[in-house]
Structure 1
């Protein structure tokens, strides 16, 4: 029996990890997050309220449950909010990771940490795992700093870098670009969408599966873990419109500069996935396959 402790289990990725682990008889799950458990299935695993900034509580949980692997999905990810609330961003994205690294080193726990394409400047994507980072935002800077903490440590670690995670769970704390675009277009609302940024959107189930592959293999090193289709943000939204047969004339192309966002975004990211596919057996779905999975889940929610 392998014990896995998940931080941030109330988030989109955290809940998808619970979905995957629950039917697996070989894994015992300790789910941890701030506040009450949001997952619709309350049994079959342990849930502990936990703020990742609390180093003492972290050590208590590790000593109590003795996990083999910790998957850290907790982070502050709103890029513009990170630019404004830098102290909180640093506490969640760097100081908390520092505590995790120290605790995992002390107790010999395998640590899997989620990182981002925003550690890059977007000048020459798609990127391999060993490409040179150059973050444009404070969010990207903190995520790179966290990566450096893992790389400098003597604990067993894996970093999974991802891009624009989308999906649906029964109790969402925040939306994502696919749900936002679908909702606005269904309501007939015109939406402004940038036409000068390129990404590889990632189905939450795919990222969760990559986490589990890394956990089961106790993989070490950096791995790219995104979707496999590179597209502009406006193409992404147009593909959502096409899938749901919604009015694409509501989609208004704009430049990134005209948005006046607090944080700068990289122009073109994307990842080369060869290493993750070869070493971990990662098999990301196409964007259309991801949309079909999401649509099926939305229909199940509507009928329940």
Structure 2
């Protein structure tokens, strides 16, 4: 019998992390799991939880070198674009510095390491983007995530997985933007949504399954995990509203140029997922219809 897997998952109490740890905890046999979380409850029994500051590289390295995992899945980051713009040094520490510390420690204990990155490393002018496309981030968030990617690139046993806009129902106590939008639609509250900002959105459970499979595989390098549909934010919510027969919705189409922003908003960050589909055909993320109606 192979040795039991030992996982460290950062951002375990987040929207994506809560789905990842639920999948790992429910597997047979269940993996041993150290969940590195912030202040929120992880909400999944059967695991060890450590409250660590993502901005403390020494503590992160010590956690990995003490626990000696077989797999490290790094999901945690400062993801709010406005927060990164307002606090660029903190964004660099949390998004790049933490990645370096965790990847270095993973190399010491010879653990598989997967960094969850973002489509925001692109400028939105040359979509759709495959793995060979040249990153040109427009925001502090995108630049710090690109720096994290570069810190991992080329290391044996390490993966950079770019994930686009995520949507769906969370397992944590923090509601997703998508859930809040559907609640507003049901309440008849007007929702202003961009028609000219496009992504290839992925449902949270699909993204979690894909990342766990990548960590368990022998793939190394860069890979994209997009959804199958190129959708604007308006189209994503409108499709969900129609599928759920929400008749009270008031969706207001607007341009991203109508809303002032400290940094430019990329127009089209659609990703190409042929590499992932070839390697994991059974795990290709599904369309909005499947995610909403399941």
CA distance in 2, matches of 1:248, 1:169: 23
1:1-304 matched pairs, under 5 angstroms: 1-26=4-29, 27-35=31-39, 37-39=41-43, 41-42=44-45, 44-151=46-153, 154-176=155-177, 178-247=178-247, 250-281=250-281, 282-293=283-294
CA distance in 2, matches of 1:102, 1:24: 28
What is the root-mean-square deviation in Å for CA atoms of aligned residues?
1.7
Structure 1 counterpart SS, 2:159: strand
Runs of at least 4 residues off by over 6 Å: none
CA distance in 1, matches of 2:70, 2:7: 6
Unaligned runs of 5+ in 2: none
Contact 1:37 1:47 (8 Å CA) reproduced: no
Q: Under a length normalisation based on structure 2, what TM-score does the superposition of the two structures give?
A: 0.92
Worse overlay, 63-72 or 7-16: 63-72
Contact 1:160 1:224 (8 Å CA) reproduced: yes
Contact 1:185 1:250 (8 Å CA) reproduced: yes
Structure 1 counterpart SS, 2:216: helix
CA distance in 1, matches of 2:193, 2:117: 25
CA distance in 2, matches of 1:141, 1:204: 24
Q: Under a length normalisation based on structure 1, what TM-score does the superposition of the two structures give?
A: 0.89
After superposition, the Cα gap between the structure-2 partners of 1:121 and 1:81, relative to the gap in structure 1 and judged at 3 Å, is same
After superposition, the Cα gap between the structure-2 partners of 1:249 and 1:291, relative to the gap in structure 1 and judged at 3 Å, is closer
Structure 2 counterpart SS, 1:105: helix
Structure 2 counterpart SS, 1:4: strand
Contact 1:126 1:271 (8 Å CA) reproduced: yes
Unaligned runs of 5+ in 1: 294-304
